[in-house]
Structure 1
Amino acid sequence: MPSSTIGRRVRPAYPILLLLAPVLAAGCATTRPGAPPDGVAPTPPAVWATGEQPAATPTVAAPTGSARPAPSSAGPSATAPRAGLRHVFPVRADNVAYHPTHGAYPATDIFADCGEPVVAVTDGTVLEVSRTDRYDKRGPQGPENGGLSVALLGDDGVRYYGSHLSGVATGVNAGVRVRAGQQLGKVGRTGNANNVCHLHFGISPPCAGRDGWWIRRGVLWPARYLDSWRRGGNREPAAEVTAWQRKHGCPKAP
């Protein structure tokens, strides 16, 4: 497929999307939009996850199960946020589509075939990893909705969250450094993905030790950043994230 069709944003021009809104509010997306036309952690150690790593740099072994950092009131990182970092589209695939909106709260569902690579949006440190799908539709809705997931604290000071994965890449564990474009996992349908292959993508501030799933899942609309990254641009969400946190702080669960 020509590169011009990769990651084509699907605009909600069809009435069916309006009918889906009540369903989306209850969970993640239940249908994939049409195909495009023409077809916080401790101070990070000096190690990188496997895959696209710099030469002569050691890697770490991947533990089994889930890795979740202990809450800390000291903040997620002692490193000052950096501007001008490279940002890339979070799914590396030819057949990708996404809605500019999302049910109930700001986020985006990026639809692609199960197994397509999910990559780091920018350089940063892995905050949390879930390698076990604990979602139960009969249980509380919210804490485990994401199924398999990875949360990344970018060096720009922004947290990027991807969930519903079918698998997490070897060596991607809490505290590990990753580069923009490095594979973190694979598109899947775990959690409350409703049997539809997609990546739930959220942007939020890292409220170390004072937040939870209700912030991690997303507080900003990502579409305009995704639009830029898909075209090879580098629109940065750090300023919007900072403004949001100044206004809202780290709110408790809704």
Structure 2
Amino acid sequence: MRLLRTLSGLTVAGVLLSGCAATGGPGSTAGPGAAAPAVATTPVAAVTTLDTAATAASARRYAFPVAAKNVSWHETHSGYRATDIFAACGSKVVATTTGVVLEISRTDRYRKGKDGPYNGGLFVSILGDDGVRYYGSHLKSVTKGIKKGVRVKVGQQIGKVGRTGNASGVCHLHYGISPACARVGDWTVRRGVVWPYPYLKSWRKGGQKSPVAAVKAWRKKHGCKA
């Protein structure tokens, strides 16, 4: 008899709980006898996918410097170790990695036939948190708010592809990798001393190949003289 009374009590409790769910509880607009509202749930697979994507994004250290579908570049460059990345004028130029802006030019001071620090026209150079300097020039424009001393994040837009400076009238991004020797003014180093191609190839495919070792080796061998 005690067992029957216990079961009966459980049945009544179940009915009362069911009634609470049907009315929606405090604040609910559902009337008596209405069906219990469906509970929204996210499939486990979807949660796992989102978590994986978030982790991958937060782990990204390097980004290809031009955010455009159609780009092309060569393994070599005339005269010194750099790369010209060809893309439509106005294409987004982004920070290769997280770091601080070292130098910036919003004015095209280049004069035809005069080789020197103004060759790049409008440009931005960044000292990455990895200790490497990344330089992009011939820009059409520099993004508002980008100035010397400002921190930028990997993939953040810093300008647009253009043809300022000694760009021969062709829209492209001149791209150089180097150690930040004098940090400013050392334009022959800033324009590029380590071949960027293998790193660009990796970043374009979502890889994270780092130029840190190559830059350190160059600096040890050359002492910042290009």
Contact 1:90 1:119 in 2 (8 A): yes
Q: Name the TM-score, length of structure 1 as normaliser.
A: 0.64
Aligned counterpart, 1:108: 83
Instruction: Note the C-alpha offset of 1:90.
Output: 0.2
Q: 1:85 to 1:104 in 2, by over 3 A?
A: same
CA distance in structure 1 between the partners assigned to 2:164 and 2:87 by the alignment: 14
Counterpart position of 1:16 = none
- Is 1:216 paired with 2:190? yes
Tell whether 2:167 aligns with 1:193: yes
Unpaired segments of 5 or more residues in structure 2?
1-58
Q: Deviations over 1:59-102 (max 9, x none)?
A: xxxxxxxxxxxxxxxxxxxxxxxxx8610100000110101110
How well do the aligned residues superpose, as a CA RMSD in angstroms? 1.4
SS of the residue aligned with 2:125? Answer: strand
- Which residue identity lines up with residue 150 of structure 1 in the other structure? V
Residue 185 of structure 1 aligns to a residue whose secondary structure is strand
Which letter maps to 2:61? Answer: R
Q: Is the 8 A contact 2:177 2:194 kept in 1?
A: yes
Larger RCO (CA under 8 A, 6+ residues apart): 1
- 1:163 corresponds to which of 137, 142, 145: 137
- Return the offset for 1:158: 0.2
| Counterpart contact for 1:126–1:177, Cα < 8 Å | yes
Q: Does 1:143 pair with 2:120?
A: no
1:184 Cα deviation after fit: 0.4
Q: Which has the larger radius of gyration?
A: 2
Task: Determine the C-alpha separation between the residues in 1 that align with 2:63 and 2:116.
Answer: 28
Deviation at 1:223, TM superposition (A): 0.4
The partner residue of 2:106 within 131, 135, 139 is: 131
Identity over the aligned pairs, expressed in percent?
A: 63
Amino acid at match of 2:166: N
Contact 1:105 1:218 in 2 (8 A): yes
Aligned to 1:96: 71
**Counterpart residue type for residue 89 of structure 2:** C
Q: Deviations over 1:136-194 (max 9, x none)?
A: 014x3121100000000000000000000000000000000000000000000000001
> Quick one: structure 1 residues 112 and 210, their matched pair in 2 at CA, closer, same or farther if it must change by over 3 Å?
closer
Q: TM-score, normalised by structure 2?
A: 0.72
CA contact (8 A) 1:85 1:123 kept: no
SS in structure 2 at match of 1:166: strand
- Contact (CA 8 Å) 2:102, 2:183: kept in 1 or not? no
The 2-side partners of 1:132 and 1:142 are apart by 15
| Mapped partners of 1:210, 1:191: distance in 2 | 18
Q: What amino acid sits opposite 1:249 in the alignment?
A: G
Is contact 2:102–2:184 with CA below 8 Å preserved after alignment? Answer: no
Give the AA of the match of 1:149.
F
Give the number of the structure whose residues are more often helix, by fraction: 2
Number of matched pairs: 168
Aligned to 1:69: none
Matched, 1:117 2:92: yes
Flag as ranges the 4+ runs of structure 1 deviating above 6 A.
none
Letter in 2 for 1:175: G
